[in-house]
Structure formats: structure tokens, C-alpha cells
Amino acid sequence: MILAIMGYDRYAAICTPLHYHNKMSPRNVALFVALSWLFPLVQVRMRLKAISHGTALFMSIYFLLMPPLLNPVIYVSE
């Protein structure tokens, strides 16, 4: 998540330098920082909850299917 945000920041800075300050407003930066903290915390909480309730099978399937959905370019087979 952090690398995606850093990539968007660099993309905005390089491709549209005159609009960079509009795209990376303090509100957007605060949103990106919040997302970069909340997304991993939610994932850790889900794993801990699954371990405590014995639903490890569900979580193993979830974490097996989620990475290809989040980044389909890497997992495309030719």
C-alpha cells in the first residue's frame, strides 16, 4: 500500500508537475497516510481474529485470492 501511494506521488510529480499541489493537497496526503496505516492494521486484525476463532481455512483462502485481485498484472499467465 505504501509503495502504491509513493508511486502515485511520483507519477503526479513527474507527469503533471503544474497540478501536483492540487492533486497532493493536505487533505489527500492525510487520506493516504490514514490508508497506509489502516489497511495493514485491518489485515492483521483479520488474521488474529481468524486464529482465535479457528477459521484459519477461510483466512488462508482469503489471503490466497486477495493478492491477484489487488494486483492482476503480476499474476496474469500467458
63 occurs within a structural domain: yes
62 occurs within a structural domain: yes
Mean predicted lDDT score pLDDT of the chain: 77
* Higher pLDDT pick, 45 / 66: 45
Half-sphere exposure of 73 (CA within 13 A, CB side): 0
**Residue 15's pLDDT band (boundaries 50, 70, 90)?**
very high
pLDDT (0 to 100) of residue 68: 64
**Residue 27's pLDDT band (boundaries 50, 70, 90)?**
very high
58 occurs within a structural domain: yes
Domain extent at residue 25: 2-70
| Cα radius of gyration rounded to whole Å, the chain | 17
pLDDT (0 to 100) of residue 45: 80
35 occurs within a structural domain: yes
> Total structural domains in the chain?
1
Cα–Cα dist 73/77, whole Å: 9
pLDDT beyond 90 at 56: no
